[in-house]
Amino acid sequence: MPGLATAVFYLALFGSSFNPANLIPSNASQYASSVISNIFGGAPTYITYLTAGVICIILVFNMAFGGIDLVLDRQLGYLSTLLTAPIPRAAIYLSGVAQNLVKVLLLAVLTFVVAFFIPNGLRLPASFGVIDFLGVFGAFILLGLGLSFIFTALALSVRSIDSLVAIVNFLTLPIMFMSNAFFPSSSFPTWLMGIANVNPVTKANEAARLLIVNGTLTSAQLSTYGLDMAYLGGFATALGILGYLAASRALRPE
């Protein structure tokens, strides 16, 4: 499926070509993994760091562009079929949110698995277990939920695919680059760091990476994880309310 191919390209190609370890001169190559580890919060390889970032990008892009199907539903008249059926308007909105989320999460899991097979790819610590895996994907689920709430409401509110694509194109790149998806935000210039640090994508990456790099967490790391998850929960709730209001308006009779 095309989504998986994009993810693999980002991981394998971007992850290999942009790997900062490439910059280390060959006579100092034995220091490569400790340099990476220092810069990237303990990650043994760049792709280990990048995996969470790429999964977040998949979430953002697929939620955003997944709305195109909903616009088509409206244009082709299928939405009218739903609107004349005796079902609550909320069901139309929430089913759109759910189907987008489930599709993309499956893609995210596949990406995670594929990351192992790339050379210099994802390497998990020995203590990484099922609970840690759930912890990682818990962060992605909360991020995905918030994104799905708002992007589904957006798709229901516009009348043409052109409008949706224009809005979405404008939003996705800032969301992607004003975060720690590719690089730690601690090394950003101040103006960028401020935005990056409130970006929910950053929080999701941070939470996921704590587990991916460390496996079992110290209590300090656990509280960071907890704060990140609370932030993501708040983000999802806020966007849920906003999205619900926008969708109710969009699904009103014309």
| Position 83 contacts another protein (CB under 8 A) | yes
Q: Between 157 and 199, name the residue whose CB sits nearer to another protein.
A: 157
In whole angstroms, the minimum distance from the beta carbon of 253 to another protein comes to 4
In whole angstroms, the minimum distance from the beta carbon of 161 to another protein comes to 15
Identified binder of another protein from the candidate list 2, 25, 86, 189, rule CB under 8 A: 86
Q: Between 2 and 254, name the residue whose CB sits nearer to another protein.
A: 254
In whole angstroms, the minimum distance from the beta carbon of 71 to another protein comes to 15
Q: Between 29 and 81, name the residue whose CB sits nearer to another protein.
A: 81
| Position 161 contacts another protein (CB under 8 A) | no
Tokens representing residue 142 in the block? 């909360």
Binding window for another protein (CB under 8 A); candidates: 53-61, 83-91, 176-184, 224-232: 83-91
| Position 76 contacts another protein (CB under 8 A) | yes
| Position 72 contacts another protein (CB under 8 A) | no
Binding window for another protein (CB under 8 A); candidates: 61-69, 82-90, 137-145, 194-202: 82-90
The size of the interface with another protein (CB under 8 A), counted in residues, is 15
| Position 68 contacts another protein (CB under 8 A) | no
Identified binder of another protein from the candidate list 35, 68, 82, 229, rule CB under 8 A: 82
| Position 80 contacts another protein (CB under 8 A) | yes
| Burial bucket for residue 238 (CB in 10 Å: 0-12, 13-18, 19+) | middle
Name 32's Cβ contacts closer than 8 Å, sequence gap at least 6. Answer: 21, 24
Binding window for another protein (CB under 8 A); candidates: 73-81, 128-136, 141-149, 229-237: 73-81
Name 185's Cβ contacts closer than 8 Å, sequence gap at least 6. Answer: 179, 192, 193, 196, 197, 202
| Position 81 contacts another protein (CB under 8 A) | yes
CA dist list (Å): 32 to 44, 117, 188, 254 = 9, 21, 22, 62
In whole angstroms, the minimum distance from the beta carbon of 77 to another protein comes to 3
| Position 106 contacts another protein (CB under 8 A) | no
Using CB under 8 A, list all residues that contact another protein: 76-78, 80-87, 159, 252-254
